[in-house]
């Protein structure tokens, strides 16, 4: 009995010491370099969002915040690494493709809604309906009229099956009652080359990818898919203003961490990221490429995450979207 009591006391002491160490580490977090993973290659929209946040976040956390690009599998490779991370210092700049679209199209090695926790919403980038200069349409209604007169003769480009560009066009097709043909590419760069040259007629690309081409006069913007007009293209109407309010699709971004992350650490990251996106330097850097920064309470981000997961799942099933 005496030995049992000693063993019990030792186990309790070990548990208490472990709990105290964990509590101390949480209160002192971060204690070393922080990794911010990105599921796409350098230079893309997610990468730009991550680096703008990481650059300003490091001084607030008093530790380096290193951006690591782990492109592949519809942005989910970086998410997979984060979900399985146990070092307590790994996060991912999540994007709608990875968290609301890919889980409905891919067999993942983690549970998107259980193994990760939404921590800090950063903002969104609207898609833009653009046409090449060879297309004689200056408004959404004119494009729809063209498509109705020539079913399936208008091709739309996307950066790949299941991308926001693809899904936005499918929603547009349903809302407008038209038949247009999908031409998927491996990324936006190749799609834009053919769009500018007239090989394809239209696209719902993201603002950072097309704003340069629009301002250079190589593409014509007919509408943005955000609820309000974008400051970078104030003359371009929203899809709602064009009479198609259901076509509201944006590429959104936010920080996710492993579900095992202590609540105090989540709170710290949430608070500091919100400070970063409120900084004029960050706002100017990201709004220049059409980003709309939007602070959000963590509970609201969690609700938003689940709502977007359901919404895109419904769209994917309705349009029978499948990866090749």
Quick: pLDDT tens for 225-234: 999 999 899 9
pLDDT given for residue 7 in this prediction? 59
Task: Show the tokens assigned to 93.
Answer: 């700049």
Domains and CATH numbers, the chain: 32-124+251-318 (3.40.190.150), 126-224 (3.40.190.10)
Task: Show the tokens assigned to 23.
Answer: 């509590």
pLDDT tens, residue by residue, 285-296: 888 878 889 889
Mean pLDDT, residues 167-180 taken together:
95
pLDDT tens, residue by residue, 55-70: 999 999 999 999 999 9
List the end-to-end C-alpha distance of the chain, in Å, as a whole number.
Answer: 66
pTM of the model: 0.85
User: Greater confidence, 53 or 294?
Assistant: 53
- Measure the CA dihedral 67/71/75/81, to 10°: -70
Q: Is the pLDDT of residue 37 over 50?
A: yes
């Amino acid at each position: 009995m005496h030995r049992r009591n000693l063993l019990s006391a030792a186990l309790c002491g070990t548990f208490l010491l472990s709990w105290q160490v964990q509590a101390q580490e949480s209160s002192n977090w971060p204690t070393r370099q922080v990794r911010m993973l990105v599921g796409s290659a350098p230079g893309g929209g997610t990468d730009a969002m991550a680096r703008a946040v990481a650059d300003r976040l490091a001084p607030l956390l008093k530790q380096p915040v290193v951006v690591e690009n782990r492109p592949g599998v519809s942005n989910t490779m970086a998410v997979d690494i984060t979900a399985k991370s146990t070092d307590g210092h790994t996060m991912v700049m999540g994007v709608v493709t990875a968290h609301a679209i890919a889980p409905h199209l891919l067999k993942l090695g983690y549970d998107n809604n259980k193994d990760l926790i939404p921590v800090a919403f950063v903002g969104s980038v609207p898609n833009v309906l653009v046409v090449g200069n060879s297309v004689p349409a200056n408004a959404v209604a004119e494009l729809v009229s063209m498509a109705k007169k020539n079913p399936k003769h208008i091709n739309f480009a996307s950066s790949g099956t299941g991308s926001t560009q693809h899904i936005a066009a499918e929603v547009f097709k349903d809302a407008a009652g038209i038949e247009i043909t999908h031409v998927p590419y491996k990324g936006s760069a190749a799609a834009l080359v053919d769009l500018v040259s007239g090989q394809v007629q239209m696209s719902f690309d993201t603002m950072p990818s097309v704003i340069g081409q629009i301002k250079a006069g190589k593409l014509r913007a007919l509408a943005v898919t955000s609820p309000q007009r974008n400051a970078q293209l104030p003359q371009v109407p929203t899809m709602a203003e064009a009479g198609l309010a259901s076509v509201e699709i944006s590429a959104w971004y936010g920080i996710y961490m492993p579900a095992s992350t202590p609540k105090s650490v989540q709170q710290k990251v949430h608070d500091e990221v919100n400070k970063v996106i409120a900084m004029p330097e960050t706002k100017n850097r990201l709004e220049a490429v059409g980003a709309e920064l939007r602070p959000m309470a963590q509970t609201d981000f969690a609700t938003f995450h689940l709502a977007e997961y359901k919404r895109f799942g419904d769209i994917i099933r309705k349009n029978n979207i499948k990866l090749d």
